[in-house]
Structure 1
Amino acid sequence: MNRRRFIRSLGVALSGLALPQGAWAQQPRSIAGAIPPGHALQASWQAWKTLCLRPDGRVIDGFQNEDSHSEGQSYGLTLAAAFDDEAAFESIRIWTEENLAIRDDALLAWRWRHDQRPHVPDDNNASDGDLFYAWALSAMAARHDRPELAQRARMIAQDLVSVCSVPHPNGSGSLLFLPAQQGFAADTGFTINPSYYMPRAMRELAAATGVSQLQRLADDGVALMTDLAESGLVPDWVTITADGWVPPPERFSFNAGYEAMRVPLFAVWSGNPEQPSARRYAAAAQTNPPDETTTVFERGSGASLERSPHRGYQAVVGLVSCAVSGSVGAAIPAFATDQPYYPATLHLMALVAQAEIYPQCVPI
């Protein structure tokens, strides 16, 4: 039997295990222990740690001067929870608590600079880092009966909605998720990063902590993505005004680039491949050449503006395209260590989402 025929037969066998599209969004589940010991992806997790994780628990970002930030620490903590790696989880958590949990509230400072003193010159937070950090804490608290982690997750969730959620300026009562406590509000509206919304993380954290506003943020965020996708790809940044959305200030990208590619990834990881943002991305990515992946699209036309050979970006395209189409077999490459932190992390996230939710999208 040739490989493609085997993949097709495997997809038929697995189809009875998969829920209909959209059904996963209503299923309670946890990232903790999603990838069991002995699973083939454990080798990829070990490779990611070798590439990105220092022995002291610091996640390094090669794209940003080998500094660290709450996003990287929180993505690392989430992946450690996904692989139920208690040793890595604890090292990342402890380093983060000692170096970034320096604010007066429960949130994390957004960046740690290895070549500066003090290492944290700015204690503003990054709401996506706080969200993923609390999500991972909550997952491991439930799995290992650690109430202190659950309490920490609850405190973060409470402060996150307190300082980073605001009413939509149109008076509709819907909520917006600010990228940080400071710097994104103006008299004309709020500047939003759509990729900071992770619907599944918000919903599961709301259920675990009782902070119901996170569920509202998830629902309102999905509605915002749908609105943005009506006229093109979801952009990196957008400004929300009382009259609707408009391009952000000039210092922010209105293309669909390195940030926005997380929107379709998080949509399918949340079990929602029918989301228009994912469908738009999958359609645009069909123009990718064999050895490169478009990393920056012009939002309206979908024209390719920038490309990269890093396999992590190809993994996102492969997973999203397969999840959207409902096909069997995905063009997800094997995990590679010849790429920096960001594509490597998206790569492993895509592999985790495939293994957990989309058995038919087995890499080919």
Structure 2
Amino acid sequence: MIAMLRATVIMLVMALGCTQAFAADGWGSFKTRFMTSDGRIQDTGNKNVSHTEGQGYAMLMAVQYNDRTSFDKLWNWTQNTLKNPNNGLFYWRYIPTQADPVADKNNASDGDVLIAWALQQAGEKWHVQAYLKASDAIQRAILAQNVIPFGGYTVMLPGAQGFNKNSYVILNPSYFVFPAWRDFARRSHLQVWNQLISDGMELLAQMRFGDTNLPLDWVALNADGTFAPAAAWPPRFSYDAIRIPLYLHWYDAQNPQLVPFQRFWGGFQRLQTPAWIDVLSGEKAPYNMAGGLLSVRDLTLNETGYLNDALSSNEDYYSSSLHLLTWLAFLQQQQ
């Protein structure tokens, strides 16, 4: 009996060790494949350009995996290379093959939010005031440059330039990073973050198109509060909008705004779920979800037995990012 007990304990210890090793594999693989030695995340599906989105994703991962060395590399490269000294935000894209890699001086508000969120998490976890101070400054800049009242709502524009057309604004609902906004509200006590959450939820409730009732990657909000597909993009629920249910679930796993996604994806067998759909015509992608897209689906449908952080060798930067972010959301909800 004692021998059996000892064997059971040993097996449990081994299993725990394997689980911990397994949990480290995803981040280690991500770093090896996408992170340069100086802390730049390369979008391998897009000519190895870098985005503030990718820097923010990786910074969040580094905090979750307790990798402060990598976090510092990521943050140092980001602030030294992408920081816009004129407004406190970040140039959204870095193209390594160009003479001026940051020729486009616009920002992407989701990238700014992700960076600020990662800094806040890092500062709170590792008790580093410099991270918290940097996060606070970025949060203030986001509010000053990207958040406006429009059409009866408080909205976060996708960037400081080019999205306010006076009679309408262009929104990307996948930039509504609800769990980050909640953490900003908790730290700053500024009501505007809670207003963004409540109005963001109401916006999503209204951004339902076609028979699927799904939102689009890009949406136009008119001054009278009505919505239309943004003219410059296909009317698809696709690679941008896939992040909407991820952030919704990360914010609240029981959120009723998840229902349209659950109904749509629940209508397909898991490995036969289309990667995107044109919500107006009903045209579906000629290929199915895999990798990180499938992970978001599994999280949204609470099929958590499929979730892990083991990246497939054929997953590119974006799929791998979604894969690990879904794992982060799942882990943080268990805490």
- Alignment TM-score, normalising by the size of structure 2: 0.87
Matched, 1:316 2:296: yes
1:255 offset after TM fit, Å?
A: 1.2
SS in 1 for 2:84: coil
1:355 offset after TM fit, Å?
A: 2.5
For structure 1, the residue ranges without an aligned partner over 5 or more in a row are 1-36, 323-327, 360-364
Matched, 1:240 2:221: yes
Report Cα offsets for 1:183-205 as digits up to 9, x if no partner: 10113210000000011101102
Report Cα offsets for 1:223-267 as digits up to 9, x if no partner: 111222486101101111122333244212321111001000110
- Which residue is 1:4 aligned to? none
| Residues 1:209 and 1:302: Cα distance change in structure 2 (over 3 Å) | farther
Q: Distance in 2 between matches of 1:105 and 1:134?
A: 15
| Residues 1:273 and 1:306: Cα distance change in structure 2 (over 3 Å) | farther
Larger CA deviation: 266-275 vs 64-73: 266-275
Q: Distance in 2 between matches of 1:293 and 1:358?
A: 27
Report Cα offsets for 1:114-136 as digits up to 9, x if no partner: 10011110111000000010001
Report Cα offsets for 1:159-196 as digits up to 9, x if no partner: 10111011022xx3x30110000010113210000000
Q: Distance in 1 between matches of 2:265 and 2:235?
A: 18
The one of 303, 306, 325 aligned to 1:331: 306
Q: Distance in 2 between matches of 1:40 and 1:212?
A: 40
SS in 1 for 2:331: helix
- Which residue is 1:145 aligned to? 127
| Residues 1:245 and 1:340: Cα distance change in structure 2 (over 3 Å) | farther
8 A contact 1:59–1:73 mirrored in 2: yes
8 A contact 1:293–1:313 mirrored in 2: no
- Which residue is 2:330 aligned to? 354
- Which residue is 2:245 aligned to? 264
Larger CA deviation: 88-97 vs 47-56: 47-56
Q: Distance in 2 between matches of 1:331 and 1:352?
A: 14
Q: Which amino acid aligns with 2:226?
A: W
SS in 2 for 1:166: strand
8 A contact 2:171–2:220 mirrored in 1: yes
Larger CA deviation: 245-254 vs 144-153: 245-254
Q: Which amino acid aligns with 2:199?
A: D
8 A contact 1:74–1:133 mirrored in 2: yes
| Residues 1:355 and 1:249: Cα distance change in structure 2 (over 3 Å) | closer
Calculate percent identity across the aligned residue pairs: 26
Where do 4+ consecutive residues of structure 1 move more than 6 Å? none
Q: Paired residues, what number?
A: 314
8 A contact 1:102–1:108 mirrored in 2: yes
SS in 2 for 1:244: coil
- Which residue is 1:226 aligned to? 205
Matched, 1:181 2:160: yes
8 A contact 2:147–2:154 mirrored in 1: yes
* Aligned residue runs from structure 1 range 284-323, under 5 A: 284-288=264-268, 291=271, 293-300=273-280, 304-308=284-288, 310-322=290-302
The one of 17, 28, 53 aligned to 2:35: 53
8 A contact 1:103–1:123 mirrored in 2: no
CA-atom RMSD in angstroms: 2.2
1:103 offset after TM fit, Å?
A: 3.5
Q: Which has the higher contact order (CA 8 A, sep 6+)?
A: 1
- Which residue is 1:26 aligned to? none
- Which residue is 2:187 aligned to? 208
Q: Distance in 2 between matches of 1:177 and 1:307?
A: 32
Q: Distance in 1 between matches of 2:279 and 2:241?
A: 10
1:109 offset after TM fit, Å?
A: 0.4
For structure 2, the residue ranges without an aligned partner over 5 or more in a row are 1-18
Look at both structures and tell me which one has the larger radius of gyration over its CA atoms: 2
8 A contact 2:83–2:90 mirrored in 1: yes
Larger CA deviation: 40-49 vs 197-206: 40-49
The one of 81, 86, 90 aligned to 2:72: 90
Q: Distance in 1 between matches of 2:286 and 2:225?
A: 29
The one of 344, 347, 351 aligned to 2:320: 344
Q: Distance in 1 between matches of 2:263 and 2:85?
A: 42
Q: Which amino acid aligns with 1:83?
A: Y
SS in 2 for 1:259: coil
- Which residue is 1:13 aligned to? none
| Residues 1:306 and 1:250: Cα distance change in structure 2 (over 3 Å) | farther
Q: Which amino acid aligns with 1:352?
A: L
- Which residue is 2:256 aligned to? 275
